[in-house]
């Protein structure tokens, strides 16, 4: 996700140490999500990834918005930025532009990303900066107690649409796959830890913005949402490919498999558009799309160089 060191942006490198990081180096305080919340398993998968990749906790940043899932950074011992509703992506953009040496992960909920923050979502995909973005999609506003979200299924009863959600849900996958400069779109599920982990790992190693939608249940308000799929693995189709996600350990359980080449965006769009089946895996990946943070990388200058340059600018205005 990052090929920079501190020296690349002009500040002193941190003290090197070759210690091995263990789970305890990343684990924060006990998470205060409801028992049974999908966020727990996502946090576990992320911690596992951090250990596996041996990411320095001080070089790693989790940026979130507002909502249940946005408490995520509080439960890690890395740096975290728990900002305001819908605006995790702009904050992460600023961090990554200024500090390309940091590993930046963005954690958002469905209301956060697809509703109040939708403008930033589309543009972050186009910026395609080197970050991992996770959409923790439980199809409901949980923290504010059961209001319709953009991904709430049609007809689903909530406190704001008590006779059932009026409209078909927004499809985050087709939205992203239709956005210019998209470079990585994957879908996984919170109740399949091995797939979740493998998907996050693929996302981490992607060049560009790796966007992972994690299907998730809210144990309070959308407990029935994926009930059938959890019980019956045949309702899920795994997208498999050497360039995508392979989870051989799950093959015995998830027998519905489709070989999908993630470089084929048209096939990806078709598969994403067909919502009769739950499909997990990498829908699309292209590592050769322009990354805004790589394009916007000015050479750092010293204070005296700045003064010399500025004097030249002032010469233009000299009387």
Min dist CB 79 to another protein, Å, is: 4
Q: Is 164 in the site for another protein (CB under 8 A)?
A: no
Which one, 129 or 198, has the nearer CB to another protein?
129
Tokens of 176: 């992203």
Among 13, 155, 164, 168, binds another protein (CB under 8 A): 13
Which residue is listed with tokens 């490198």?
A: 13
d(CA 244, CA 259): 9
Tokens of 98: 């200024």
Min dist CB 82 to another protein, Å, is: 4
Enclosing H/E stretch for 313: helix 303-316
Contact letters for another protein, residues 36-65 (x by CB under 8 A): ---------------------xxx-xxx--
Binding piece for another protein, criterion CB under 8 A, among 42-50, 190-198, 228-236, 292-300: 292-300
d(CA 296, CA 32): 39
SS3 state of residue 164: coil
Within 67-126, the residues that bind another protein by CB under 8 A are 73-74, 76-84, 87, 89-99, 101-102, 119-120, 122-123
**60 within 8 A of 78, measured Cβ to Cβ:** yes
Give the bridge partners for 108, in sequence order.
135
Give the bridge partners for 163, in sequence order.
none
| Count of residues interacting with another protein (CB under 8 A) | 62
- Please provide the distance, in angstroms rounded to a whole number, between the alpha carbons at the two ends of the chain: 50
Binding site for another protein (CB under 8 A): 6, 9-15, 57-59, 61-63, 66, 73-74, 76-84, 87, 89-99, 101-102, 119-120, 122-123, 296, 298-301, 303-304, 306-307, 309-311, 313-314, 316-319
């Amino acid at each position: 996700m990052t090929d920079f060191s501190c020296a690349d942006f002009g500040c002193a490198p941190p003290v090197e140490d070759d210690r091995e990081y263990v789970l305890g180096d990343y684990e924060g305080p006990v998470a205060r999500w409801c028992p049974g919340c999908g966020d727990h398993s996502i946090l576990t998968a992320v911690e596992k990834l951090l250990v596996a990749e041996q990411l320095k906790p001080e070089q790693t940043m989790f940026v979130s918005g507002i909502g249940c899932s946005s408490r995520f950074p509080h439960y890690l011992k890395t740096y975290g930025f728990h900002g305001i509703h819908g605006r995790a992506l702009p904050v992460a953009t600023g961090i990554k532009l200024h500090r390309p040496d940091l590993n930046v992960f963005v954690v958002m909920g469905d209301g956060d990303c697809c509703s109040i923050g939708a403008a930033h979502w589309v543009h972050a995909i186009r910026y395609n900066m080197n970050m991992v973005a996770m959409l923790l999609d439980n199809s409901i506003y949980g923290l504010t107690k059961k209001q319709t979200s953009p991904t709430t299924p049609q007809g689903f009863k909530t406190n704001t649409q008590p006779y059932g959600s009026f409209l078909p849900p927004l499809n985050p996958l087709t939205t992203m796959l239709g956005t210019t400069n998209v470079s990585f779109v994957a879908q996984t599920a919170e109740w399949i830890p091995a797939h979740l982990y493998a998907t996050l790992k693929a996302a981490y190693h992607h060049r560009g913005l790796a966007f992972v939608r994690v299907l998730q249940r809210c144990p309070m308000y959308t407990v029935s949402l994926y009930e059938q799929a959890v019980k019956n693995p045949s309702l899920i189709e795994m997208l498999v490919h050497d360039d995508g996600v392979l989870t051989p350990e799950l093959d015995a359980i998830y027998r519905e498999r489709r070989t999908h080449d993630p470089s084929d965006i048209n096939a990806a769009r078709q598969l994403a558009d067909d919502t009769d089946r739950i499909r997990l895996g990498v829908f699309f990946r292209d590592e050769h799309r322009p990354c805004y943070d790589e394009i916007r990388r000015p050479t750092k200058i010293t204070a005296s160089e700045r003064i010399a340059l500025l004097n030249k600018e002032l010469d233009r205005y000299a009387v």
